[in-house]
Amino acid sequence: MISDTHGKGRNILIPLGDVLIHCGDLAHLGSFAEFRKEIEWFKTLPHAFKIIIPGNHDVCLENLMNQNLEAQLRRMLRPIIFLRDSGITIQGVKFWGSPWIPPYAGAYNLPRVELKAKWNMIPEVDVLVTHGPPNGILDGGAGCIYLTEAVQQRIKPRVHCFGHVHACAGHAAANGTEFFNVAATPQCYSLEAHYA
């Protein structure tokens, strides 16, 4: 799991694994050229499955969504799996990705009340991928309380990975969920023991 590479992914040692998840902010300045360069690097990594979600620095992606060009974006990204309020099951493990954050800067910002509706869309999954953190968990005060409520009361994922708040990178556990803030700090986690 990784997040917030900001156009410098090539400079980060990415651990091997079956599934590589990027929790958003592939770009830094938000241009499509910068994003495409980061995707070219991402495609060279050896992981069998690669999942990305957008982050607030990925302004070009929000612009594409606003122009109804998501289908074209998904074709360009293949074989990378692009999640935006959507999910996928890989070898029996359910993943869901959502890019939204409370008002801050850049793209994918929503008022907190609208965020609650986004979190209510999320079904029960094994791995939840968001750009922003839940409130009170590796968030430096910038997390969303409605995300915390959804994760702990209803979704109850085995793993919740996110980024956005660089200074709070790390690991925590609560109520059966492993939380990983992977902002520019790759983390490995094995679901093998849980699903063996």
Residue 163: per-residue pLDDT: 97
Beta strand 86-90 with 93-98: parallel, antiparallel or unpaired? antiparallel
Predicted confidence band of residue 186 (pLDDT cuts 50, 70, 90):
confident
pLDDT of 184 strictly over 80: no
CA distances from residue 117 to 85, 100, 144 in whole angstroms, order as listed:
11, 11, 12
Cα distance between residue 24 and residue 165, in whole Å: 12
| Per-position DSSP letters for 129-189, written without gaps between them | EESSPBTTSSSTT-SBHHHHHHIIIII--SEEEE-S-GGG-EEEEETTEEEEE-BTS----
Domain chopping of the chain, boundaries? 9-189
Residues 97, 84: contact at Cβ < 8 Å? yes
Residue 129: per-residue pLDDT: 98
pLDDT of 84 strictly over 80: yes
Query: How much of the chain, in percent, has pLDDT values that exceed 70?
Result: 97
Report which of residues 191 and 71 the model is more confident about. Answer: 71
pLDDT digits (tens, 9 = 90+) for 125-167: 999 999 999 999 999 999 999 999 999 999 999 999 999 999 9
Q: Tell me, rounded to whole angstroms, the distance of Cα 185 from its chain centroid.
A: 13
Q: Which of 97, 99, 84, 93 is nearest to 158 (CA)?
A: 93
Q: Count other C-beta atoms under 10 Å from residue 144's C-beta.
A: 24
Residue 193: per-residue pLDDT: 55
Q: Count other C-beta atoms under 10 Å from residue 46's C-beta.
A: 9
Predicted confidence band of residue 196 (pLDDT cuts 50, 70, 90):
very low
Residue 139: per-residue pLDDT: 96
The pTM is what? Answer: 0.95
Cα distance between residue 152 and residue 52, in whole Å: 23
Residue 195: per-residue pLDDT: 47
pLDDT digits (tens, 9 = 90+) for 27-79: 999 999 999 999 999 999 999 999 999 999 999 999 999 999 999 999 999 99
pLDDT of 111 strictly over 90: yes
DSSP state of 91: T
| CATH code given to domain 9-189 | 3.60.21.10
